[in-house]
Chain A
Amino acid sequence: MKTGAGSMGMLVLALAMGAGLMFVPAEAARPFRTLFHDILSPGQTLLDAAWRQSRAWSASWPATTDRQRGARDLDAALRSARLENRRLEVQLADLRSRFERLSAQQGLAPLAASPPLLITPKLIEARVIGDETAALWRGRKLLSAGTREAIAESALVLDDARPLVDVGDDGPVASGDAVYAGRIVIGKIAEAGRYTSTLRLVTDPAYSGRARLARRTSQGLVFGPEGTFVGDGSDLCRLKHIADPVNVGDEVFTGGTDGVLPFPMYYGQVVRAELDAGSREWSIWVKPAASGERLETVVILRRAVNPQRMLAN
């Protein structure tokens, strides 16, 4: 009974306190709230660290779903295929030079030695800067602004929202240089800064390039007409100025081969093709192969005048 009376008294106290505290101004309650948050802060930091750690463990747990494992395997296979591609390109170049040397030794070279190539390709590897670092870079927080050794970067690059690569004039790269991931066309350099450059992806409305249709047949890949590949800001790109019949599933490669690269690069696959009544040209939608790529490194094609040719004159 005594306990019951005590509890009843405490209930009355609780209600009275509750009612009284509701009239306390918010300003007066602020120091109490701040103090309480400060007291909880170490525990919350500890809990946050434990939560992050547990999530990291669960992500690296071996018993992940088959789908995740499959995706990881495919990613690894893609990486190794790209590395293998690059290795084969180097090997091809080496074999070509050896063949030319042997031909010359055996007297098979043309009588009048052709001059060295005027335009030579140069592939520059660049890393795509991640979102967080890009935000810091654009926010000029990595540039040591105001110090004696201040790093200056082009405002055109910093104020642009497009993806960044870590090569600029120092690379050197220039606006309009083609950007690839393996043999897939990623886009072009939009603006080249001093140390970084922005990428104009193939899906960008301002992107345009020459492209060629190709169809897989029993005789292999057969190349067809050339058109203009343009981005329209959506996930799909458009292929314009094609008057010949097109099928869904046809492949799209770079066109206008000028001999700089030994093979055409890949844009993507036709996913929709329509011929409007009265129109001569097809309306073609292409799903770019680059859209599913999580870019880490890219290769920038730089065309340069061969210095040997300059020296020869």
Chain B
Amino acid sequence: MKKFLALAIWTYLVFVLHSGLASRMAIAGHAPHFVLAGLLLVIVCVRDGRGMGCAILWGLLSDGLADGPLGPDVACFGVSAFVLQRIALRSRMRSLWGEAAVFGILVWTAIVGSNSLRWLAEGRTLDVAALGGHAAGSAIYTAFVMAIVSWAARLVLDRPEAEPISKTPTVVNHWRMLTG
């Protein structure tokens, strides 16, 4: 129940920030994508079907904020969440900059994917170069914001950035004669 409440509050906060603050923080027309940033942080913490369910729900809500048909964000957020879960399971993502790079690529892919679907559904001509360039700016900005949040969280939780893998203690299977 506590986790559900925390997720509901986080969802509301992220969508309010995205709809009210992102455009004000834009640099040279590139605004951070708070919804994708918030979602990817949730996916890192919830690595099972519930995380994917959250991605579908957030995709639907994000479609509600955008113009055009519903659906593109549902599909693209789902794919991004699935890929992140695969990467997170394999590499455990311990490096801060590695995390930021993965987040940046996923955000870029999701923005390009959802906008392309939206444009195609509306019958508009797809300008891939312009869309890719614009999405790259937003993705870099978002990844930078996420890296700062992640770094701050590590400081608060006192978790070292790259924890050295401790050597497995050597087990010596030698019997020593104690008597005689």
Q: Measuring CB to CB, which residues of chain A are less than 8 angstroms from any residue of chain B?
A: 3, 6-11, 13-15, 17-24, 26, 29, 32-33, 36-37, 39-40, 43-44, 46-48, 51
How big is chain B's contact interface, by range?
35 or more
Give 6 CB contacts A-B under 8 Å.
A6-B49, A9-B49, A14-B82, A19-B75, A32-B64, A43-B16
CA distance A10 to B48 in the complex (A): 10
Is B121 touching A44 in the complex (CB atoms < 8 A)? no
- Chain B, 121-176, CB within 8 A of any chain A CB: 121
Which of A3, A10, A40, A48 touches B56 (beta carbons < 8 Å)?
A: A10
Given A6-B49, A43-B16, check contact A15 B64 (CB 8 Å).
Answer: no
* Chain B residue nearest to A14 in the complex (CB): B78
Contact partners of B77 in chain A: CB under 8 A: 14
Is A51 touching B21 in the complex (CB atoms < 8 A)? yes
* Chain A residue nearest to B53 in the complex (CB): A10
Is B16 touching A44 in the complex (CB atoms < 8 A)? yes
Given contacts A7-B48, A21-B60, 14 further A-B contacts (CB under 8 A): A3-B47, A6-B49, A10-B52, A11-B52, A17-B60, A17-B74, A18-B75, A22-B69, A33-B64, A33-B65, A40-B19, A43-B13, A43-B20, A51-B20
Is B49 touching A44 in the complex (CB atoms < 8 A)? no
Q: Measuring CB to CB, which residues of chain B are less than 8 angstroms from any residue of chain A?
A: 12-13, 15-17, 19-21, 24, 47-49, 51-53, 55-56, 59-61, 63-65, 68-79, 81-82, 85, 117, 121
* Chain A residue nearest to B48 in the complex (CB): A3
Given A9-B49, A36-B64, check contact A21 B74 (CB 8 Å).
Answer: yes
CA distance A181 to B15 in the complex (A): 50
Which of B24, B49, B60, B61 touches A10 (beta carbons < 8 Å)?
A: B49
Is A7 touching B49 in the complex (CB atoms < 8 A)? yes
Contact partners of B13 in chain A: CB under 8 A: 43
Q: How far is the CB of A261 from chain B (nearest CB, A)?
A: 51
CA distance A14 to B52 in the complex (A): 8
Given A7-B48, A24-B70, A48-B20, check contact A18 B59 (CB 8 Å).
Answer: yes
Q: How far is the CB of B53 from chain A (nearest CB, A)?
A: 6
